[in-house]
Amino acid sequence: MSIEMRLPWIALGALVCANAWAVQRCELNGESVSRANGHTTAGKSGVMRCTNDSGQVRRLDQTLRDGQFVGPVLMVLADGERREYSLNERGNRDGVARTFDGQGTLRKEEHFEDGSAVGVQKTFAEAGHLQTLRFAAGRRTVLTMAYLADGQLTELRCAAVSLVPQDREVCGHAGRASDVTLVRADGKPAGTVSYLHGQMQRQTVLDRDGKPVRGEALKDGRRIKQVFYPSGRLRSEADFVERDPNSGEGREGVAREWAESGQLTQETTWADGHEQQIRQWYLNGQQKAHQQIRRDGRQQERTTESFWDTGLPAAVNVERNGRLLGWQKYFTEAGVLAREDEHGERGLLLRRRSYDAQGVLLREERFLEDGSRI
């Protein structure tokens, strides 16, 4: 059983132990037994019924097989909610599990195998209509469909193959791309989405005023994702080669960011799943920084050229695996070399050269491991 699934039952178990069974009455095959005393149920089979008129859990029918809690379970809470499920020999939920509210309306229907959700999982609204339909496989939710009372979709995430009759048309498994408008609870459009054979072809997400928040499109084998400012201006764009998630191939493409004024502020190039180059700009359009990243196995070397907002050089830094290495250069706002620092293998400062306003060497210092100078 996953952690996410265990927590609610652990919490409920703690509640049961703390107060729900403070005044419990349990009976098995006409005999009085105790849930707290395993000797009273040892080796016995049948349905043990426990009641507590003042507890959070008012009724619990639990099946025993040779003294073990295995088989169907019925739990009724103080508000009338009823839960029906089965436990296997390992004490995990197995098979169909249903939850009904105090009015007897089915609110949840799930399928489990040894504590893990598998296959179709459904939730229903208080009025009784289907609210969400999910399909679980390999400890992941691979299909999600959420509905309003009139059947309109509010959420859609498709799988690569058709899993339920409801996904054939909207997920593009019928041989043609779908065109679905998603709506909010108030009936206003939340965006549009299109799938073909379960693969998203395009998507637009709208805010409550109908303005684009983000968009996504598959074009010529490339997945393009965009995010927008409230004004409608483009905020960021990621343009990457569409990969099979199971191929093991890394990210390849370009990611860009803009200020709301429209000025490009950053561009990152990726290849083989790693950053290769990063360029940054000031809002006035001058280049701010340029980084080149090189890899050799687990070793990474990064060279960064920084600039003042006038376009003149500010610094040149070299890093290996996140630590400064070798000679680092720093410039004044006039673009004149002001200082050079040499760093060793562990990033420690070894030497420093200081220059005057004209770039003439003033002094050179050596540093020991404790930071003292000689």
pLDDT tens track of the chain, all 374 residues?
444 444 444 444 444 444 444 568 999 999 999 988 889 999 999 999 999 999 999 999 999 999 999 999 999 999 999 999 999 999 999 999 999 999 999 999 999 999 999 999 999 999 999 999 999 998 899 999 999 999 999 999 999 999 999 999 999 999 999 999 999 999 999 999 999 999 999 999 999 999 999 999 999 999 999 999 999 999 999 999 998 877 778 899 999 999 999 999 999 999 999 999 999 999 999 999 999 999 998 899 999 999 999 999 999 999 999 999 999 999 999 999 999 999 998 999 999 999 999 999 999 999 988 878 88
Report the distance separating Cα 242 and Cα 239, nearest Å.
Answer: 9
The total of other beta-carbon atoms located within 10 Å of residue 229's CB is 16
Residue 191's identity, in one-letter code, is G
What per-residue confidence (pLDDT) applies to 289? 98
Report the distance separating Cα 209 and Cα 242, nearest Å.
Answer: 31
286 with 310: CB under 8 angstroms? yes
Beta-strand relationship, 130-137 and 349-355:
unpaired
301 with 294: CB under 8 angstroms? yes
What per-residue confidence (pLDDT) applies to 243? 87
Query: What ranges make up the beta strands (E) of 66-209?
Result: 68-77, 82-87, 95-100, 106-113, 116-117, 119-124, 130-137, 140-147, 153-157, 180-183, 189-196, 199-206
What per-residue confidence (pLDDT) applies to 23? 64
**349 CB-near residues (< 8 Å, 6+ apart):** 341, 342, 343, 367, 371
- The torsion of the CA quartet 339, 343, 347, 349, rounded to 10 degrees, works out to -70
Report the distance separating Cα 237 and Cα 266, nearest Å.
Answer: 11
Cα radius of gyration (the chain): 32
What per-residue confidence (pLDDT) applies to 9? 43
What per-residue confidence (pLDDT) applies to 3? 43
What per-residue confidence (pLDDT) applies to 119? 98
With tokens 């990152």, the residue in question is 268
Q: What share of the chain is helix, strand, coil (3-state, %, to 5)?
A: 5, 55, 40
**131 CB-near residues (< 8 Å, 6+ apart):** 123, 124, 125, 146, 147
What per-residue confidence (pLDDT) applies to 18? 44
What per-residue confidence (pLDDT) applies to 22? 53
